[in-house]
Structure 1
Amino acid sequence: MNSTKLFSKSLTQNGLISRFYYTNRVNKATLYSRISPLGSPDKSVEAELENWLKNGNNVRVAELQRIIHDLRKRKRFTQALEVSEWMNKKGLCAFSSTEHAVQLDLIGKVRGFLSAETYFDKLKDQDKTEKTYGALLNCYVRQRQTDKSLSHLQKMKELGFASSTLTYNDIMCLYTNIGMHEKVPDVMMEMKENRVSPDNFSYRICINSYGVRSDIEGMERILTEMVSQPQIEMDWNTYAVVANFYIKAGLTEKAIDALKKSEQKLDNKDGTGYNHLISLYASLGNKAEVLRLWGLEKDACKRYINKDFITMLQSLVKLDEFEEAEKVLKEWESSGNYYDFRIPNIAIIGYAKKGLHEKAEAMLENLMKKGKATTPNSWGVVATGYLDKGQVKKALGCVKAALSVTVENKGWKPNHKVISSILDWLGDEGSIQDVEDFVASLRKTIPVDRKMYHALLKANIRDGKRVDKLLAAMKADKIDEDEETKTILAMKSR
């Protein structure tokens, strides 16, 4: 597992993102209940806000702030910014430095650091506080603006605004994001020299900086220091990061010890920690622990979401435990969770990689019979596997299926080698109708090329048909005849 996934990339220190969102408990229409279902993160919410007012409803600032908070957690930043700007425009409350900092951060996320700079420059002097300076620093760090980040930090130091843990964490994140991991411990040292107390995230970033450099001794030294700090309450995430680096270093016993300590710190109501530990035990090849933790997660969490199923299936496929994976798939199907093709696709791609292409194809066909969405890429992977086995006819069937679902996946392009081989085979063995139908499907996805015409020419010549119109069409498509074309045309005289 990538170590960066084990500690939050977010530059805030809010911990884990909640799996549960605010809901209206009284089944009564609220402003939140109108905005929350607006699906796409980029869908405008201003019309709902205006309609709410036009219908004579009150707008409470506290509710708007809660909506902004929730939309940010759900990464619907454009909508969160829209609500914040609407609230400001309507003058519903005088923005404090806290509201300005939130809006500045959202502007940086949605429009970039230059727009955030402009907003910051227009603030009144009394609003240029540690919070708004920190929000702008966050924008610079997020977009890896090293010079601007360090220059801005210097201004904050001069103004006495660099006294928070978050500020130093931002700079450690900057060095992490640009791959200068060796600089992270220096920032940590400066932090302590300036009597700013590191928090869990500070230590985790520092531990990571040693781990990515394979400095296990340095990593252990920081972990020992962290454990000894009275203000620090050890968390599962830190031990999981350490376990991950032990696994990479081949230190299995130490990895298991760290995983056991991590498990002791898990929040039983949140499956995120269970997911990380399941993935790490899968990396160790430990099926028993993977299944044990899955059982614990299901007992501990009120419900398990698609992300949980994805983690579990990925782990089981990594372990080649396909029977267990099929059991988990059945659990997902009966869970009532929304359909997400990524979940069955884990098993489909797993089967394909194991050479079990018939099994993968059967799963795809079953989904299509149920009216469920599939992707052309998955069909393409199975087609490639069949082609590698010399089963061109089966590869053709999969490519046809892939082409039939490209409407929803417009960016997909078929594998050139697969298409070329199928066209060669059709030209030699397929009927004119087979070739024409396949080429017609291909032309909706990729430009017509010489290979397509060659297949059509060969099929027509084998059937004794004239090819004058085909040659004229080929010329109209600006495809010149080459030596292979001449060889194919010579078949007429045989």
Structure 2
Amino acid sequence: MATRVAAGRAKYLAKRNPQRALYKTLFRNGMAEEAIRTEVDRFLNSKKKVLRWEFGLALSQLHHLGLYDLALKLSETLNQRGMTRRHQDLALYFDLVTKTRGIKEAEKCFIEIPDFAKTQPPYNALLKCYCEERMTEKAEGIMKKMKELRLASTPVPYNLLMTLYIKTDHPERIPLMIQEMKTDDIMLDVHSYNLWMKGIAATGDVSGAERVFEEMKSDGQVMVDWTTYNHLALIYVEAGLFDKAEVMLTELENRINDGDLEAYQCLIRLYGRTGNLVKVHQLWQSLKPVIPMTQLNKSYLNMMRALADLNELPNLETCFKEWESLCETHDIHVVNVMMEAYAKAGLIDKAIDIQNHALVRGAKLNSKTHEILMDYYWKGGEFVSTIKCISDAVSARGEGTKWVPPMEIVVSLMGHFKREDDVDGAEAFLNVLEESGMKLGAEVFEPLIQTYAYSGKTNRLMRRRLKMENVVVSDETDKLLDIVCVE
């Protein structure tokens, strides 16, 4: 009897209607975070069985929405209930652990894997975490270990490292990686070629990127797809070669399917940067009818950025109002685009109005929101408001993320404190900078010391502070320390 019941249950699960799948259940009441959390808790309390494919889709969607803690909770609960985590699942799992608990916890998860099971997927997963956290030394260290174990035999780890080098402004290292791949007979894939082009272009060699493109087309093992034309178009846009960019964008259009939202969004954004408003609107009208609710915020965000690039404020306002009438969740990233456009146009009251409206609608302000206002106030010489925005931006940063103010603004504000002989204001500002995780150098400490000296105030611990921060000041400022550091 029990066997027949189990067999019947297995048969039912195998034939489960996709419309009743887990990801459909979790998002049946919309994309609002509160509604999703309620559905996840309801599912976990029900102890219902799910298939691996529907679990995977639900997990990916939660990750896409930035609900990392919820995705991790779902993953770990189902793992405890018997849905064993496979090696190919580790990249996403390590990423969720890193984003919610920190990179040290991800390292701990890796260490707990038995040595015999530490194959390519676990190593690639940890390497991906290091690269996304921009931990170059650790990333290179684990890559070295993978080579020793002969686990760096695919393009994946090389692509991860090359992506890291681009993000950390070291594109000159990419040709060396490509040469190493060729020497070790590791086949370049589309992503490898795209990164190679991007790295070459980042050094200012557009012709070199074109040569890489020609080599890619002649490589019989690689099929050029729309992403390559997208990369080359972006290279041309950033070089100001708009005619060449539009040729690549036309090629891109010819290689995409009608339902490929990502490709359409890339087209819209790049046509916006070439100044082609007609094409932007044409593509948007084609895309709008097929946008699923799960992609609504992302699609409108992309379109609004294109309109912002074109300085199309009236069209941008229309698009924003349309989005507000359709959205289920008030995405602060979309609001920020509208706020920034208003601030650049000098319409700061409108920017603040939509910020307040976003709060009423349940949006959570992020560092960028405050940065927009910071930039406006700083340019207008409103230093008190600028400092408040910096403090708010530091407080608003997400868990595991970093935000620091631009050095130009920091130096400007330290100069303001010096002119005002405002030691207390300068020290309070330094506390905010330290909280942000910003490395404090001579650019900050020299005006601080001068502020103390010119205001007639002392700080006997100043030399010790400089030593602890490993800061060396100029000879002129060093002489002022004799005045400042008296008992």
- TM-score band by shorter chain is 0.5 to 0.7
Return closer, same or farther for 1:160/1:308 CA change in 2, 3 Å cut-off: same
Counterpart-to-counterpart distance in 2, 1:345 and 1:144 = 26
Matching residue of 2:80: 89
In structure 2, the partner of 1:256 is 246
- Unmatched runs of 5 consecutive residues or more in structure 2: 1-16, 398-427, 429-487
RMSD: 4.8
Contact map agreement 1:109 1:139 (CA 8 A) in 2: no
Matches within 5 A, 1:214-363: 214-298=204-288, 301=291, 305-335=296-326, 338-340=329-331, 343=334, 346-347=337-338, 349-355=340-346, 360=350
User: Does the CA contact (< 8 Å) of 1:207 and 1:222 recur in 2?
Assistant: yes
Q: Is the 8 A contact 1:68 1:80 kept in 2?
A: yes
Whether the aligned pair in 2 keeps the contact of 1:234 and 1:265 (CA below 8 Å) is no
Q: What do residues 253-278 of structure 1 show as CA deviations (whole Å, max 9, x unaligned)?
A: 21221222222223421333333322
Q: Which residue of 2 aligns with 1:149?
A: 139
Check the 8 A contact 1:226/1:232 in 2, yes or no: yes
**How far apart in 2 are the matches of 1:275 and 1:312?**
7
The change in CA–CA distance for 1:205 and 1:353 in structure 2 (over 3 A counts) is same
CA distance in 2, matches of 1:38, 1:373: 10
Quote the Cα distance in structure 1 between the aligned partners of 2:290 and 2:27: 28
Does structure 2 retain, via aligned residues, the 8 Å contact 1:85–1:103? Answer: no
> Does the C-alpha gap of structure 1 residues 185 and 318 become closer, same or farther in structure 2, counting only changes over 3 Å?
same
Q: 2:104 corresponds to which residue?
A: 114
The match for 2:403 is: none
Matched to 2:212, the amino acid is I
Q: Deviations over 1:446-479 (max 9, x none)?
A: 9xxxxxxxxxxxxxxxxxxxxxxxxxxxxxxxxx
Aligned to 2:70: 79
Q: Is this contact kept in 2: 1:269–1:302, CA < 8 A?
A: no
Equivalent residue for 1:449? none
- Does the CA-based 8 Å contact 1:314-1:346 persist in structure 2? yes
Which structure has greater helix proportion?
Answer: 2
What's 2:177 paired with? Answer: 187
SS at match of 2:224: coil
- Residue 322 (structure 1) shift: 3.3
Q: Check conservation: 2:178, 2:196, Cα contact below 8 A.
A: yes
Structure with max Cα Rg: 1
Q: Distance in 2 between matches of 1:107 and 1:411?
A: 21
Q: Separation in 1 of the partners of 2:79 and 2:310?
A: 53
- Aligned 8 A contact 1:100 1:127 in 2: no
Residue 48 of structure 1 deviates from its aligned partner by 4.3
Match of residue 416 from structure 1: none
Q: How does 1:145-184 map to 2 (within 5 A)?
A: 145-184=135-174
Contact 1:175/1:181 (CA < 8 Å) preserved in 2?
Answer: yes
Q: 1:262 to 1:115 in 2, by over 3 A?
A: same
Name 1:51's counterpart in structure 2.
45
TM (norm. structure 1) is 0.61
The superposition leaves residues 165-224 of structure 1 with CA deviations (integer Å, 9 ceiling, x where unpaired) of 212112212322322111111111211222222222111111111111111111111111
Stretch of structure 1 that moved more, 263-272 or 331-340: 331-340
> Do 2:130 and 2:139's aligned partners in 1 also have CA atoms closer than 8 Å?
yes
SS at match of 2:19: coil
Q: Which runs of 5+ in 1 are unaligned?
A: 1-22, 389-398, 413-445, 447-494
Quote the offset at 1:163 in angstroms: 0.9
**2:130 alignment partner in structure 1:** 140
CA distance in structure 2 between the aligned counterparts of 1:151 and 1:410, rounded to whole angstroms: 33
Q: Cα–Cα, structure 1 residues 100 and 341, in superposed 2: closer, same or farther, change >3 Å? A: closer
> CA distance change for structure 1 residues 225 and 37 in 2, over 3 Å: closer, same or farther?
same
The total of aligned residue pairs comes to: 376
8 Å CA contact 1:310, 1:343 repeated in 2: yes
Equivalent residue letter for 1:305? L
Question: Which of residues 13, 19, 24 in structure 2 aligns to 1:25?
Answer: 19
Instruction: Tell me how far apart the structure 1 counterparts of residues 173 and 258 of structure 2 sit (CA, whole Å).
Output: 36
Q: Distance in 2 between matches of 1:227 and 1:148?
A: 34
Aligned equivalents of 2:252 and 2:222: distance in 1? 15
Separation of aligned partners in 2, 1:101 and 1:410: 30
Counterparts of 1:368 and 1:35, CA distance in 2: 23
Query: Equivalent pairs: percent with the same residue?
Result: 28
Amino acid at match of 1:52: S
Counterpart AA for 1:78: D
In structure 1, what is the equivalent of residue 447 of structure 2?
none
Instruction: Select the residue among 187, 195, 200 that pairs with 2:190.
Output: 200
Q: Distance in 2 between matches of 1:46 and 1:366?
A: 30
Is the Cα–Cα contact under 8 Å of residues 32 and 329 in structure 2 kept in the other structure?
no
Code of the aligned partner of 1:71: L
